[in-house]
Structure 1
Amino acid sequence: MPDPGPSPLQSSLPSAAAHFGAHVLANTLSLGRAPADAPVAEAAAAEAVPAAAVAATPVVTAPEATPSALPSAPVLPFGTRTAAAAAPAPAVDEGTVRQAGEALERIIRGPSGLGTAALHLAPYAEPPAAAPAQGRPIPGLYHHPVPEPDPVRVEEVSRRIKRWAVDEVQAYPPEWEDQFDGFSVGRYMVACHPDAPTVDHLMIATRLMVAENVVDDIYCEDHGGSPVGLGGRLLLAHTALDPVHTTSEYAPAWEQSLDSDAPRRSYRSAMEYFVRAATPSQADRFRHDMARLHMGYLAEAAWAETEYVPEVSEYLAMRQFNNFRPCPTITDTVGGYELPPDLHAQPAMQRVIALAGNATTIANDLYSYTKELDARGKHLNLPVVIAEREGLSDKDAYLKAVEVHNDLMHAFEAEAAQLAAACPAPTVLRFLRGVAVWVDGNHYWHMTNTYRYTLPDFW
Structure 2
Amino acid sequence: MPEPGPSPLQSSLPGAAAQFGAHVLGSAQARASGSLPGGPAVPGRPAMPGPPSVPGGPAVPRRPAVPGPAGLPGLSVPSASTAPTAPPAHPAPSPALQRLLSGPSGLGTQGLHPAARREEPPVPAAAPEPRTPAAGTPVPGLYHHPVPEPDPVRVEEVSRRIKAWAVEEVDLFPDAWENQFDGFHVGRYMVACHPDAPTIEHLMVATRLMVAENALDDCYCEDHGGSPIGLGGRLLLAHTALDPLHTTKEYEPQWAESLHADAPRRAYRSAMEYFLRQSTPSQADRYRHDMARLHLGYLAEAAWAQTEYVPEVWEYLAMRQFNNFRPCPTITDTVGGYELPADLHAQPAMQRVIALAGNATTIVNDLYSYTKELAAPGRHMNLPVVIADREGTSDKEGYLKAVEVHNDLMHAFEAEAAALAAACPVPSVLRFLRGVAVWVDGNHYWHQTNTYRYSLPDFW
TM-score, with structure 2 as normaliser: 0.79
Quick one: distance in 2 between partners of 1:370 and 1:329? 29
Unaligned 5+ segments in structure 2 are: 19-38, 49-61, 71-79, 103-127
Q: Which residue is equivalent to 1:393?
A: 394
Q: 1:115 & 1:193 partners in 2: Cα distance?
A: 26
Residue number in structure 1 paired with 2:317:
316
1: CA distance, partners of 2:414 / 2:270: 35
Partner of 2:13, secondary structure, is: helix
Match of 1:122 in 2: 94
Q: Which residue is equivalent to 2:236? A: 235
- Count how many residue pairs are aligned between Structure 1 and Structure 2: 387
Q: Where does residue 25 of structure 2 map in the other structure?
A: none
Superposition deviation, residue 72 in structure 1: 2.8
In structure 1, give the amino acid aligned to 2:187. G
Determine if contact 2:65/2:282 at 8 Å carries over to the other structure. Answer: no
**In 1: Cα distance, 2:337 partner to 2:353 partner:** 21
Q: Secondary structure at 2:141's aligned position in 1? A: coil
Aligned partner of residue 188 in structure 1, secondary structure: helix
In structure 1, what is the equivalent of residue 445 of structure 2?
444
Residue 51 of structure 1 contacts residue 427 of structure 1 at CA under 8 Å; is this kept in 2?
Answer: no
Counterpart in the other structure of 2:8: 49
Aligned-pair CA distance for 1:77:
1.6
Question: How far has the Cα of 1:84 moved from its partner?
Answer: 4.8
What CA distance in whole angstroms lies between the structure 2 residues aligned with 1:247 and 1:429?
44
Q: CA deviation at 1:49?
A: 2.2
SS of the residue corresponding to residue 54 of structure 1 reads coil
One-letter code aligned to 1:74:
P
Tell me the distance in 2 between the aligned counterparts of 1:422 and 1:339: 16
One of 45, 53, 60 as aligned partner of 1:76: 45
CA 1:309–1:192 in 2, change beyond 3 Å: closer, same or farther? same
Corresponding residue number in structure 2 for 1:412: 413
2:298 alignment partner in structure 1: 297
Preserved contact between residue 63 and residue 281 of structure 2 (Cα < 8 Å): no
Unaligned runs of 5+ in 1: 1-40, 60-69, 90-107
Task: Please report the RMSD computed on the Cα atoms of aligned residues, expressed in angstroms.
Answer: 2.9
Shift of 1:350: 0.3
How do residues 360-379 of structure 1 correspond to structure 2 at under 5 angstroms? 360-379=361-380
Q: Which residue of 2 aligns with 1:275?
A: 276
Higher relative contact order (CA 8 A, sep 6+): 2
**1:76·1:82 contact (CA, 8 Å) conserved in 2?**
no
Q: What's the CA shift string for 1:135-167, capped at 9, x where partnerless? A: 010000000000000000000000000000000
SS of 1:260's partner is coil
Counterpart of 1:390, as a letter, is: E
Output the CA distance in 2 between the equivalents of 1:71 and 1:338: 15
Structure 1 residue 52: deviation in Å? 4.2
- Matched-pair contact (CA < 8 Å) for 1:46–1:83: no
Name the structure 1 match of 2:214: 213
**Residues 400 and 84 of structure 1: CA distance in aligned 2, closer, same or farther (over 3 Å):** closer
Alignment of 1:220-259 (within 5 A): 220-259=221-260
Q: Partner of 2:362: helix, strand, or coil?
A: helix
Matched, 1:140 2:141: yes
The CA deviation string for residues 358-383 of structure 1, in whole angstroms up to 9 with x for no partner, is: 00000000000000001111100000
Structure 1 contact 192–439 (Cα < 8 Å) conserved: yes
Note the C-alpha offset of 1:54: 2.4
Residue 288 of structure 2: aligned partner: 287
Q: Is the Cα contact below 8 Å between 1:130 and 1:145 reproduced in 2?
A: no
Per the alignment, residue 166 of structure 1 pairs with: 167
SS in 2 for 1:370: helix
Query: What is the percentage of aligned positions where both structures have the same residue?
Result: 74
After TM superposition, the score normalised by the length of structure 1 is 0.79
* Corresponding residue SS for 1:276: helix
- The verdict on how the C-alpha distance between 1:295 and 1:83 changes in structure 2, with shifts beyond 3 A counting, is closer
Distance 1:310 1:84 in 2: 42
The structural deviation recorded for 1:78 is: 3.3
CA gap of 1:118–1:365, structure 2 versus 1, over 3 A, is closer
Deviation for aligned residue 1:264: 0.3
CA displacement at 1:133 relative to structure 2: 1.7
Shift of 1:294: 0.1
| Distance change in 2, residues 1:285/1:47 (3 Å) | closer
Cα deviation 1:85-107 (Å, max 9, x = unaligned): 99x99xxxxxxxxxxxxxxxxxx
- Indicate the residue corresponding to 1:94 in structure 2: none
**In the TM superposition, what is the alpha-carbon distance from 1:53 to its structure 2 partner?**
4.3
Tell me how far 1:83 sits from its aligned partner: 7.3
